[in-house]
A and B are shown apart, each in its own frame.
Chain A
């Protein structure tokens, strides 16, 4: 069984935001919500780096752990999914998420945020809706995994900075890159998300 992960090679990211656009388009993410974003650190200074970030589909996902109604779960591929039928919009996953992934339709005074939305790794909802059905699409977006495809953000990354796929395979690709070019700023977020970085 694969263990799906994301890896952003910050030495390749050119902050084109195509992953952000691809995600919004593929999943028809409503206005105001962003399942993926590109953050540029030390912008305009020597050594600035951009990192594309979404839900990292953590090992021992803290969001799933703190959810008061246990609506967040990991599927067989390690993809962290949630049920919008059970979500009560309390915002706890947002406090717990190390990557700012959970999104809500509204700012939410008096707890009126609405149902949480986040990156599904283009794997739909994993719930009672039939994979690829319009009901599933409306709630969770595209289910490319059911079609044997990887998330669109990574698939269409122009510099192949953003990698998606089995953790061991993408870690191997990243290692080879680092060895060949002689440098690498590491797999951003991996230590926090998966309890291990990539040693080269």
Chain B
């Protein structure tokens, strides 16, 4: 009996095992088919860059700025700096020099129509001239050292060689960074001391309509106060461009205090574009203040201008000055009287 039971147990056991294997086999196969991709939930470079222009993570080294894994925008900034800026700078600056040369050779300098009177009118105080030349000299240093960063390797490096060029650029870099401060001081002082005289007035519209008296006809002299509309334009451009280059420059001067890399790239774009346009405007300002107009330079050199120059270019201001000197009980003020 026990043998029979044992046999039955064996058969049942074998059948159970067989059925287990038969049913388990496809089950086992089913487990093998789904492929587990460890990258299914993983981040990919393409997806991350689609979401955000740069990829950041966590790092173990102390310098947390290094936690940016990549910022492909560096290549776009490279394109701006090496292609767009070169063309913009070349067109704007060479264009302006060409324009001024054309003005000089075809229109010629603006003469004092009535000739010099020989009598002087005080135009700029010593302090005003100091502020002007403080800003002007620092602008020239900043302009040359700044243009050197963009154009030096194309224009100067082939002439003087890599070693001398690097030595010069090193000095130019420090000159640029430190001259920025007298320049900013100058901009602030200019803003304060000439603000009142540069507020746009009705008379400026007439001045602009007549093309400033030298574009349409050299002998037309539209009325103007202490500063004509052209000078007011220079004033406001100097303030606006000065503020933009100063702010963007400060961000670059103190890296990572306020701005990170993409912000510094943007600051550099603003700095470079505004500075190149600024240089072009100032070139025109230098031309009209020296070669372009007889009797203009002495205003900033000695502080006094010829009576006839003042009458032709700033008649309303001259009248004011004369009225002032009369009312202050100095009718025979020698510096404000005509020579006749």
Question: B61 contacts A37, CB within 8 Å?
Answer: yes
CA distance A175 to B11 in the complex (A): 54
With A95-B77, A192-B70 in contact, do A42 and B174 touch (Cβ < 8 Å)? no
Partner of B169, one of A15, A68, A100: A68
Confirm or deny: B39 has a beta carbon within 8 angstroms of a beta carbon on chain A: yes
Chain A residues closer than 8 Å to B170, beta-carbon distance:
88-89
CB pair A111–B163 under 8 Å, yes or no, is no
- What does the 1/0 interface line of B62-79 toward A look like (CB < 8 Å)? 110111111111110110
Once the chains bind, are A43 and B57 in contact (CB under 8 Å)? yes
One of B37, B42, B63 near A34 (C-beta < 8 A):
B63
Whether a CB of chain B sits under 8 angstroms from the CB of A162 is: no
Q: Which residues does chain B contribute within 8 Å of A111, judged by CB atoms? A: 173-174, 176-177, 253
Could you say which interface size class chain B belongs to? 35 or more
Contact: B72 with A38, CB < 8 Å?
no
Is B4 on the interface with A (CB-CB < 8 A)? no
Checking B41, B150, B174, B265 against A110 with a beta-carbon cut-off of 8 angstroms, the contacting residue is B174
Select A37's contact among B59, B173, B253, beta carbons within 8 Å.
B59
Number of A-B contacts (CB under 8 A): 172
Which residues of chain B are within 8 angstroms of A40 by Cβ–Cβ distance?
Answer: 57-59
Chain B residues with CB below 8 A from A95, complex form: 74, 77, 261, 264-265, 268
Interface membership of B87, Cβ < 8 A: no
Q: Which residues of B contact A70 (CB under 8 A)?
A: 153, 157, 162
Contact yes or no, B45 A188, CB < 8 A: yes
The proximity string for A residues 74-104 relative to B, scoring 1 for CB distances below 8 Å and 0 otherwise, is 0000000000011111111011111110000
In the complex the two chains form, is B66's CB within 8 Å of A34's CB?
yes
B258 at the interface (CB under 8 A from A): no
A-B contact pairs, 6 of them (CB 8 A): A37-B66, A62-B77, A95-B265, A95-B268, A100-B261, A185-B44
Taking beta carbons and an 8 Å cutoff, which residues of A are in contact with B? 10-11, 15, 17, 20, 32, 34, 37-43, 46-51, 53, 62, 65-71, 85-92, 94-100, 107-111, 182-186, 188-189, 191-192
